[in-house]
Structure formats: C-alpha cells, structure tokens
Amino acid sequence: MSTQTPPAPAPSSTTLPDLGGGHRRRLPRRAPVGLFVVGALAGALTGRLTGGNVALTVIYAAILGTLAVYVVSAVVDGRRKATDRLMTCLVTGAFLIAMIPLVSLVYEVLRNGIKRLDATFFSNSMVGVIGEGGGAYHAIWGTLIVTGLTTLISVPIGLFTAIYLVEYGHGRLKGAITFFVDVMTGIPSIVAGLFAYALFEIFFGPGVRMGLAGAVALSVLMIPVVVRSTEEVLKLVPNELREASYALGVPKWRTIVKVVIPTAAAGLGTGVTLAIARVVGETAPLLITLGITNATQNNPFVDERMATLPVYAYYQLTQPGVPPQFGIDRAWTAALVLIILVMALNLVARLISRFFAPTTGR
C-alpha cells in the first residue's frame, strides 16, 4: 500500500499579505501624533535659538514634526506606511495653513468690531457726526436696496440664459455664450463699475451717482455666477423626467416650467443665494457708481448718492475724522456686519439645499 504526502492546505482567503516590507513591529495608534509633537517642539526650539520670527518657528516645527513621523514610521512600519503618514501630514498641514488666515480674519474683526456693535450703530446715520457716535443705518439700508435690485436684474437673466444653454442651445452660438460667460466670471470688479458709470453717463450726464447704476454694476458680476451655477444644476436633472413628460404630449416649455425647474429648485436657490453673497461685499463698483453720503437715501432711481456698507467701511477707515479712532471703530463694525450678512446668506443656502432638495424613494 502506497503512502502519499497530503497536500499542503491552501492559504485562507482572509489572510492578508504583508505590505509593510516584512516588518512585524507596528507603531501604536497614537504614536504618530506624539512623534509629530516631539518633532514640532524641537523645531520650535530650533527656531527660537536661531532668532527666527514666529512664522519661521512654525515652519521649523512643521518640517521637523513631519520628518520625525516619516523617519520613525519608515524604520518601524516600512516605507509604504511611512509614505502614507507623510502624505497625511502634508494634507493636514495644508488644511491648517488654509485655516490660519480665516481664523485670524474672524478673530481680528470680532475683536475690533464688537466695540460699536450696539443699537446706535443700527439706528443712527452719520448726519452731523464728526467724532464719537453715529452709525450705519443708512449704509445698511443702501446695501439691502442695491443688493435686492441687483438680484431682481440678475436672476431672471441668469436663469433664462442657463435654460437656453441646457435645453435649447447648440452649435457655435452656445459655445460663444459659454465662452463669454466664462470671461465675465473673471472680470475685475472695477471694470464692471466703469462700465455701469459710462453707460449711465450717456443718459444722465457726467458725475451721475444713483443706486440703479450700482445695481447694474453688481449685475455684471452676478449674472455669470448665476448662469454657471444654474447651468450645472439643470444638467443634473435626469433626462428620463424630460422624456416621460414629452411622452405624455407636454410641450417643451411646459416641461421646463413644471418638471425641470421644480426638480432643480433647491440647487437653483442655493446658487442664487451664493451669488448674492458673492456681490454683497463688493466695494470698487460702488465707489464709482454710488459714492458715499451721510444721510439716508432709499430711492435708487434718482441721481443722488447712496451709502452702502462696503463703501461706508472704506471711507470710515480712510477719512475717519478727528479723533480718528471713532471712525476706525465704525469701519471695523461695518466689516463685522458684512461678515455676519455673508455668513447668514451661506447658512440660508445650506438650509435651502437641505430642506428643499427632491427626495427619492419607492
């Protein structure tokens, strides 16, 4: 009777290959963080000993902390894991670098602008005010009026242009419109102000200052943003919805009104809100078309100056009066109000996207 050697058992499918270069040792889970902290402390100490400033000290700390993580991981866990942790450190560092100016900006505006954030700032104008006191009531109203008029001009034009590009446009005309919209997206804001001023100068003469001119200038900046955001949202509407409507004999215009736009309503609202937030803080076009005034002017259709928050902050900083500290405080508070307004618009955009998005289900 012959004897045969039993075959070796097949490796289990759950057995994972060793990707760490043959190393069986592993760093503890929290070790990379500790290594980075140690390296960062060494870098900070090096920066201080060499007489470097704060920025140079932070750079030394980031470099030595990353090197410490990479070298120790390469020795213990192998190059594969070390490279992964190196990229994690680089991505995290890029995120922190991007957060530094944002956090610094918010901190400085809050620290300097909270001093005048009181009821007087929202209820008084600058009529008869030279030093202490006064507020931005007239500038806040001017900002709301001009921004609202800009929205009334820009949203219909931008929406209809996007509908044409998605639903009707084809060939060279569509390509030309898309090209010019892309060019307008990057146009400098001062050029928009000069265009609006030159346009209104033809009808009202030199030196014209009126709210409608400011709204037209901001519309030049807002329309391409509305077009691009609306176009992308309309492209996300499934073609099956359009085809089902056409199969029922519904004409194209009615399909767009009753099917496409309601389906994309949440995205349209979000895009419009973000476009408003884009132009609400513009200063250069309004410096040219509106100027500044200390009194409240609520009629944008007459040839009179209007105050807006960005221009108000600019003039309070550059022409603060005597003593200058009161004007500078008002400028910081105006900047804080603008940031709050932009944050509120972004919050509204998120709420629209969350609560009005179409739901799918069986």
pLDDT at 20 over 70: no
Q: How far apart are CA 218 and CA 229, in angstroms?
A: 17
Domain assignment present for residue 5? The answer is: no
Burial class (CB in 10 A: 0-12, 13-18, 19+), 64: buried
Residue type, 299: N
Is the domain of 173 the same as that of 46?
no
Do 140 and 97 share a domain, yes or no? no
Q: How confident is the model at residue 147 (pLDDT cuts 50, 70, 90)?
A: very high
Q: Is there a contact between 165 and 178 (Cβ–Cβ < 8 Å)?
A: yes
CA dist., res. 71 & res. 90, Å (int): 15
Banded model confidence at residue 221, pLDDT cuts 50, 70, 90 = very high
| pLDDT band per the 50, 70, 90 thresholds, residue 41 | confident
**Which tens digits make up the pLDDT trace of 70-98?**
888 888 888 888 888 888 888 888 888 88
CATH number of the domain where residue 308 is located: 1.10.3720.10
72 with 146, same domain: the answer is no
Structure tokens at 228: 């691009």
Statement: residue 335 has pLDDT above 50: yes
Cis omega (within 30 of 0) for bond into 300: no
Any domain includes 24 = no
Same domain, 45 and 106: yes
User: Which structure tokens are listed for 166?
Assistant: 């998605």
Q: What is the pLDDT of residue 24?
A: 53
Residues 221 and 335 in one domain: yes
Q: What pLDDT sits at residue 13?
A: 41
H helix runs in 77-210, sequence order:
79-113, 119-123, 137-163, 171-185, 189-204
- The three-point CA angle 61-64-65 to 5° equals 75
Q: Is 25 helix (H, G, I), strand (E, B) or coil?
A: coil
Q: In sequence order, what are the residues at sequence separation of 6 or more whose Cβ sits closer than 8 angstroms to the Cβ of residue 126?
A: 134, 135, 136, 138, 294
Q: pTM of the predicted model, to two decimals?
A: 0.79
Using the predicted structure, report yes or no on whether residue 111 has a pLDDT greater than 80.
yes
Within 8 A by CB and 6+ apart from 189, the residues are 221, 282, 283, 284, 285
**Residue 51 sits in the same domain as residue 137:** no
Q: How confident is the model over 227-266, as pLDDT tens digits?
A: 999 999 999 999 999 999 999 999 999 999 999 998 888 8
Host domain of residue 98: 31-115
By percentage, how much of the chain surpasses pLDDT 90? 38
Same domain, 188 and 224: yes
| Helix (H) / strand (E) containing 64 | helix 54-76
| pLDDT exceeds 50 at position 362 | no
Largest separation between any pair of C-alpha atoms in the chain = 119
Query: Which tens digit of pLDDT belongs to each residue from 47-76?
Result: 777 766 677 777 778 888 888 888 888 888
